[in-house]
Amino acid sequence: MAKKKTDPEAESAKKDNPNVMGLKAEVMDQPIVDTLELNYMPYAMSVIVSRAIPEIDGFKPAHRKLLYTMYRMNLLTGGRTKSANIVGQTMRLNPHGDAAIYETMVRLSKGYSALLTPFVDSKGNFGKVFSRDMSYAASRYTEAKLSPICSELFREINSDTVDFVDNYDSTTKEPTLLPTTFPNVLVSANTGIAVGMASNICSFNLEEVCRTEIAYLSDPDCDIYTTLPAPDFPTGGEVIYDPDAIREVYETGRGSIKVRSRWRYIKEENLIEIYEIPYTTTVEAIIDKIADMVKTGKAREIADMRDETDLSGLKLTIDLKRGTDPDKLMAKLFKTTTLMDAYPANFNILIAGSPRVMGIRQILEEWTAWRSECIRRRVFCELSQKKDRLHLLKGLSKILLDIDKAIKIIRETEEDAAVIPNLMIGFGIDEIQAEFVAEIKLRNINKEYILRRLEDIEKLEKEIADLEDVLKNRRRIKAIIKADLENVIKKYAQPRRSGIVYSDDMVYEEEAEKVDSYPVTVFFSREGYLKKITPQSLRMSSEQKFKEGDELLLSFEADNASELLVFTDKYQCYKTRLSDFADTKASALGSYLPTVLKMDEGENAIYVLDPKDYSGSVVFFYEGGKAARVELTGYQTKLNRKKLTGAYSDKAPLVSIVPLKEDIEIALTASDGRCMVFSTAHLAPKTSKTTQGVAVMSLKKNKVLVSARPLAETPIKNVSRYRVRSVPAAGALLREEDSGNEQLTIE
């Protein structure tokens, strides 16, 4: 067979491009659901279960690996060692790199001050939780050991209280949980962001948590608010006690808790010292915000501000101008800066590998069940050891009844391997007992030794009976838990760091910002431009200028101090004030509301109204012939420029918005030329802003409502022809003499 000739250029091309050789990359079609299940879900579950969400012992895996490594390094009773040494040893359990491990150590340290009960006794610069720019030193410069309270984490670690698993390369073992003797899950603050969920657990005072657990053990229906009044934050501050907010957090595990800074006024130097701030902010964020307020003229009372934090603790100093009221200034700063901030609670905890958001009582229930199981396992381990010891001693007791016989058996046995079997045959004992007897020293074969061993048997039998009773008796297990908690309180209890301020005890109120009051006329165009013009300017030039293609949608008289509600086509409402807009002229285009109010992308303003004292209501008319009357009080908020989602129903396109101070007659027009007039008295006010309302106009198939406006603003002459006594109604065809000019509607 002739050999096939090869082309050198073709061979070279095949080497450069494997696809030429037929080794084309295989492309598989796979449904997106299968891709998510096979590739994404394992990653998501790993982040949730093995990284971001704490478990019932109050620790994440990274915390647990670090603390257990330090325990094995004898850093609970020994002296400090370099942090770099600890980080290196921890990498045997945690493969995520030295930077991540050291950052975990920093957060657990006493120096960083992020925990009420720090677990790492640190030496050196570990930064501060209240500072964004105060960086911690490198691990080669700092030293650390375990804090004394860690003895409550590892006291029972060797008594089979928790499971141990292989580390990532199966070279050693590590605990799945730490057998904490107190509810650390509530004592240590914890924050984690997983995939599709997060956890944010605020800290509580150690003594208060232990007292609450003791009360819960005595009565599961106890009033936890008496022993656990509010969270306690490591940075101090004052918790603004809102009973409804606290109850929501305690019962659901979600909610918001307000915390404000602590400050004092130094009258002699006319300055304010802020020495404790909320846990959720930093000194740099506060300084930046106040500096911005000074630049924009919103804090003219402040002459200077500086950070005087030193080894004695945090201190922000604000120099005041002469005549400044410090209470009113702090009220303003609490309102506009993070000197008063909210902690968003989210008690998401892993229970048996599954994330659960729980309230305080549920957490105590789960911790009690877990702690009870730890105690049962410890008792069972101790029971097994004592039973093994008793088994050996009972074998010894049989030998000690006839020592001479035992000595004779051992002496007459020719081979060493036959000693154990001969003892088993001679005294009727098993191999373990015979092995124990054979190892007894010759000096111990005396009367005193024999009597002591017999006493040990009686003592062990009593102890075993007691331990077996513990396993059967829930009350005794609860008593052990209580005793452990009392011991923790006695050794490690500390006073609260965060004060509690009740809203009724607030000694000052927020100062209302002074706004000039004078009459203005508001003009709003279809494209979303707003003008605020004074009467004097309007008299000089009343011809309004608009952008090409734009036109006037509505105008009304108001006061410069008035608030405005701006409705958008994204079913949202923005609250602002007329004083935030500069006075302008008729020749100007005005302010573009989507930009000024920082609306969402593609969102447009469609209607503006002055709610005045929020005593009236507003009626929304939809294409389907329905109308919803909503009380204006539903849009009343305490903050300006606040975006309200769900401002009206999104079930059907909006046709018109009509504000009401009192009941009036409204004229409706349909796309088929029919018209009806009805009184708004037929519309009952609704409490929900997103209500679809009630049907007011009966429409034919494929016909829609095209306009709705007050009767007084229409050219209708024959009102009786279109007026209806009840709704819904079909109306009558609109006559030519009643049509007039086309009205303005929202599209």
pLDDT digits (tens, 9 = 90+) for 57-106: 999 999 999 999 999 999 999 899 999 999 999 999 998 889 999 999 99
Residue 290 in domain: yes
Confidence of residue 20 (pLDDT cuts 50, 70, 90): very low
Domain CATH for 295: 3.30.1360.40
Segment 384-400 mean pLDDT? 87
Residue 108 in domain: yes
- Between 29-43, 220-234, 249-263, 573-587, the lowest mean confidence (pLDDT) is in 29-43
Is residue 391 pLDDT above 80, yes or no?
yes
The DSSP element (H or E) to which 331 belongs, if any, is helix 326-336
The 10s digit of each residue's pLDDT in 152-181 is 999 999 999 999 999 999 999 999 999 999
Segment 671-699 mean pLDDT? 90
322 and 409 together in one domain: no
Confidence of residue 22 (pLDDT cuts 50, 70, 90): very low
Residue 243 in domain: no
294 and 388 together in one domain: no
Confidence of residue 504 (pLDDT cuts 50, 70, 90): low
325 and 381 together in one domain: no
Segment 618-630 mean pLDDT? 93
Tell me the CA end-to-end span of the chain in Å, nearest whole number.
84
80 and 144 together in one domain: yes
The DSSP element (H or E) to which 467 belongs, if any, is helix 447-472
Is residue 396 pLDDT above 90, yes or no?
no
108 and 158 together in one domain: yes
Of 179, 208, 229, the one marking the end of a domain is: 179
Q: Per the structure, how many domains does the chain have?
A: 3
The DSSP element (H or E) to which 144 belongs, if any, is strand 143-146
Alpha-carbon span 460 to 297, nearest angstrom: 81
Confidence of residue 296 (pLDDT cuts 50, 70, 90): confident
Is the Cβ–Cβ distance between 203 and 187 less than 8 Å?
yes
Residue 579 in domain: no
Is residue 507 pLDDT above 60, yes or no?
no
Residue 642 in domain: no
Domain CATH for 466: 1.10.268.10
Residue 498 in domain: no
Query: Cβ neighbours of residue 408 under 8 Å, at least 6 residues apart?
Result: none
413 and 320 together in one domain: no
114 and 175 together in one domain: yes
Residue 123 in domain: yes
Q: Which domain holds residue 154?
A: 59-179
Calculate the average pLDDT of the chain.
88
Is residue 637 pLDDT above 80, yes or no?
no
What pLDDT, on the 0 to 100 scale, is given for residue 411? 84
Is residue 510 pLDDT above 80, yes or no?
no
- Between 197-201, 443-447, 643-647, the lowest mean confidence (pLDDT) is in 443-447
383 and 334 together in one domain: no
In order, the DSSP letters of 718-743 are -HHHHB-SSSSB--EEPPHHHH-SPP
What pLDDT, on the 0 to 100 scale, is given for residue 664? 92
Segment 715-722 mean pLDDT? 89
Of 480, 496, 526, the one marking the end of a domain is: 480
* Residues with a known catalytic role: 141
Alpha-carbon span 433 to 457, nearest angstrom: 14
384 and 476 together in one domain: yes
What pLDDT, on the 0 to 100 scale, is given for residue 246? 94
Segment 460-464 mean pLDDT? 92
What pLDDT, on the 0 to 100 scale, is given for residue 159? 92
In order, the DSSP letters of 33-79 are HHHIIIIIHHHHHHHIIIIIS-BTTS--HHHHHHHHHHHHTTTTTS-
What pLDDT, on the 0 to 100 scale, is given for residue 741? 54
Among 632, 527, 525, residue whose Cα is nearest residue 575: 632
C-alpha torsion sign, points 647, 653, 656, 661: negative
- Between 34-43, 241-250, 503-512, the lowest mean confidence (pLDDT) is in 503-512
The DSSP element (H or E) to which 304 belongs, if any, is strand 302-307
Of residues 639 and 246, which shows the higher confidence score? 246
In degrees and rounded to multiples of 5, residue 440 shows phi and psi of -65, 135
Among 218, 235, 412, residue whose Cα is nearest residue 341: 235
Is residue 12 pLDDT above 60, yes or no?
no
Of 480, 502, 522, the one marking the end of a domain is: 480
472 and 394 together in one domain: yes
277 and 328 together in one domain: yes
What pLDDT, on the 0 to 100 scale, is given for residue 404? 81
Which structure tokens are listed for 328? 């009113």
388 and 309 together in one domain: no
Residue 468 in domain: yes
Confidence of residue 4 (pLDDT cuts 50, 70, 90): very low
